[in-house]
Structure 1
Amino acid sequence: MKMNAINWPEGFVPGFTDNYCSNEVIIAGLTTADIWPLLNSPALWSSYYQNSANARFYDNKGPELEQGARFYFETFGFPVEAQVTEYVAPVAGEPARVSWHGWAGEPGSDDRLDVLHAWLIEDLPDNRVRILTQETQNGKPAVELAKAQPNPMINGHQDWLNGLIAAAQP
């Protein structure tokens, strides 16, 4: 069985960035339709993921993500400005996708962090769903995060996945 992959824009391809993390869960008894509404609404993130706070949209957008939407949230101690770079809502037989470019700090500063956080959710045979989240990062904070043990990005994103699944279960 072939599984789909994240679409990476130039400048954020894994292996050519300062940090990269990948987390994946495959679970029976849930579908993309169960997961998508919880991920697609940033205001809900803090209800199941303690590392997310104060989500809000700009330009009279929201409460759901959409292509090009600008939004803000706080995570890992960073105030993150973000813009959706890929948005593919669930359609039968195709994976749902959402990615955003997030940034913190002033361009060129030592505390500047640029990330691409991508999600792929796909229904699998036998009533299973696959949730893949990957992130690449550039900037001095990313270099430090890549060295940290245990890895705060891997652990934080696993908490996000676990919370997402728990919130989606009946």
Structure 2
Amino acid sequence: MIKQNAIIWPEKYTPGTTDNYCSNEVIVAGLTTEEVWNYLVNPFAWPTYYANSSDIEFLNPEDKELYDGVRFRFKTFGFPIEAQVTECVPPAVGEAARLAWHGWAEGNEETRLDVIHAWLIEDLSGGRVRILTQESQIGKPAQNLAKQKPNPMINGHQDWLEGLVEAAKNKI
């Protein structure tokens, strides 16, 4: 029997209780959690493999990668996002690596968006790695995103996963 790890959700963002939720996952051979992690915790690398991210900056300009509690900004899906890392567990033998941030787009009742975006990366048997990313969203923009077909969050996050895998494989 194989047990898979899961994202740890703050109660307010429990999937199924928010305005929008998406989940994407890949399992690939020939990579390790460590190799993938290095591309994920460096948000300056994101635009090199994920076209839907831009304008990355840390509130503290001396910061260069994500760590627990760090604040940063970026643009994605047309939203300027302010974010703070809420979970950052680097790879360790026998344990899943975890990264999550609370992100928000300021605004009024019609335009404010709140999200938790979480990642789980774990080594599997046979030289495989599992990469899971999920996002739970609250706000009117989230309600609108949930109604769109094809789903822009599912498709966008799949592009992010595939780009992350290619970046790690090709060491770009």
What TM-score do the two structures reach when normalised by structure 2?
0.96
Q: How does 1:87-166 map to 2 (within 5 A)?
A: 87-106=88-107, 108-166=108-166
Cα distance in 1 for partners of 2:120, 2:25 equals 9
Partner of 1:50: 51
CA RMSD of the aligned region, Å? 0.9
Cα distance in 1 for partners of 2:87, 2:25 equals 19
Cα drift, residue 59 of structure 1? 2.8
SS in 1 for 2:11: coil
Percent identity over the alignment?
Answer: 62
Cα distance in 2 for partners of 1:2, 1:48 equals 30
Partner of 1:23: 24
Runs of 4 or more, structure 1, over 6 Å off, are: none
Cα distance in 1 for partners of 2:58, 2:93 equals 28
Alignment partner of 1:81 is 2:82: yes
Cα distance in 1 for partners of 2:62, 2:22 equals 29
Q: Is the 8 A contact 1:115 1:137 kept in 2?
A: yes
Partner of 1:11: 12
Cα drift, residue 141 of structure 1? 0.2
- How many residues are matched? 169
Amino acid at match of 1:48: Y
Q: Is the 8 A contact 1:61 1:69 kept in 2?
A: no
Amino acid at match of 2:68: Q
Q: Which segments of 5 or more consecutive residues in structure 2 lack a partner in the other structure?
A: none
Cα distance in 2 for partners of 1:26, 1:78 equals 29
Cα distance in 1 for partners of 2:7, 2:78 equals 26
Cα distance in 2 for partners of 1:85, 1:36 equals 16
Partner of 2:36: 35
Q: How does 1:51-66 map to 2 (within 5 A)?
A: 51-60=52-61, 62-66=63-67
Cα distance in 1 for partners of 2:11, 2:110 equals 22
Amino acid at match of 2:15: P
SS in 1 for 2:44: helix
Cα distance in 2 for partners of 1:61, 1:52 equals 20
What TM-score do the two structures reach when normalised by structure 1?
0.97
Q: Which segments of 5 or more consecutive residues in structure 1 lack a partner in the other structure?
A: none
